[in-house]
Every structure is written in structure tokens, then in C-alpha cells.
């Protein structure tokens, strides 16, 4: 699947209507953005079930400002409409793949519980207690197996 151009008009609809959405915030003058573009495009081909959106920050200044993006490239990941990853800077292909897998493996019930707790604390005027990030993928259950099968 090719990347999708995101604009002020379609951003919310795309993020809320899809299970997982990755968003690349880029600028034409940005060297790291030009290097990240083929990595991101390859990820979109490798994972057609995930929407890979791109925001041209020079054309979409209002959207960029509302997302508080000021460094390029910036990668955001949304799962079930919630922002679960936000990082500026170039990502090599292996690191982008790791982000994709971590977003897939997130325990969204735990993410929602933590968000609810933060919102409740904020509503009561209390500083939100720092909490551990939601548990993501860890070791698989069962014996560890390394190397070729049978070794």
C-alpha cells in the first residue's frame, strides 16, 4: 500500500477510521526527511494493513502547529485513534520495524486505563503520578530457542 497524503481536512477521519496509522511529518528542505522517505515507503509496502500517512509540514502549517511538531522528520503512531508513539528524528528501517511491532503488541486496555487515570488526576487538579509505560511485547512464553532449529 502506498502512503496516504494527510491534510487538515482528512487527518482526524483517517486516524479515527483505521486500527493503526503511522504519520510521517516531513519538510521538503529537510535532508533527514528525504533519507527517511524510502524507508517509510518500504514499510508501507511491507505492512499494507497499516495506514502510512504523510504530512507535508510546509503545506499543512495549521495541522503541524496543532500537532506541536517542530522537528523533522517526526513519526507518530496512532492505534485505535490514540497517539501511542511520537518521536522526532530519522529512523533506520530496523528501528521503524520495531516501532510497528511494538504498536501492534500494545495492550490497549492498559493504555486506556492509564489515560483515564491521568485525565482523572488532571480533572481533580492533582499532578499526575508518573507511571510505567504500558507493557509492550516481551519474551515469549516457553523455552528460549536461539539459532537453527534443533540446536
Q: Cα separation of 7 and 61, whole Å?
A: 10
Q: Has 33 been annotated as catalytic? A: yes
* Catalytic-labelled residue, pool 21, 22, 23, 30: 30
CA distance 82 to 26: 21
Which candidate, 52, 67, 59, places its Cα nearest to that of 29? 59
**30 catalytic residue (yes or no):** yes
Catalytic residue among 21, 27, 33, 77: 33
Q: Which positions are annotated as active-site residues?
A: 30, 33
Amino acid at each position: 500500500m502506498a502512503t496516504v497524503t494527510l491534510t487538515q481536512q482528512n487527518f482526524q477521519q483517517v486516524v479515527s477510521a483505521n486500527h493503526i496509522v503511522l504519520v510521517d511529518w516531513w519538510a521538503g528542505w529537510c535532508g533527514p526527511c528525504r533519507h527517511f522517505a524510502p524507508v517509510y515507503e518500504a514499510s508501507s509496502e511491507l505492512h499494507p494493513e497499516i495506514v502510512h500517512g504523510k504530512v507535508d509540514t510546509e503545506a499543512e502549517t495549521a495541522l503541524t502547529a496543532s500537532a506541536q511538531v517542530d522537528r523533522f522528520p517526526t513519526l507518530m503512531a496512532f492505534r485505535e485513534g490514540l497517539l501511542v508513539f511520537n518521536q522526532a528524528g530519522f529512523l533506520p528501517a530496523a528501528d521503524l520495524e520495531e516501532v510497528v511491532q511494538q504498536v501492534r503488541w500494545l495492550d490497549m486496555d492498559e493504555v486506556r486505563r492509564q489515560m483515564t487515570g491521568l485525565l482523572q488526576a488532571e480533572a481533580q487538579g492533582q499532578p499526575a503520578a508518573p507511571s510505567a509505560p504500558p507493557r509492550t511485547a516481551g519474551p515469549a512464553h516457553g523455552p528460549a530457542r536461539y539459532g537453527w532449529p534443533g540446536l
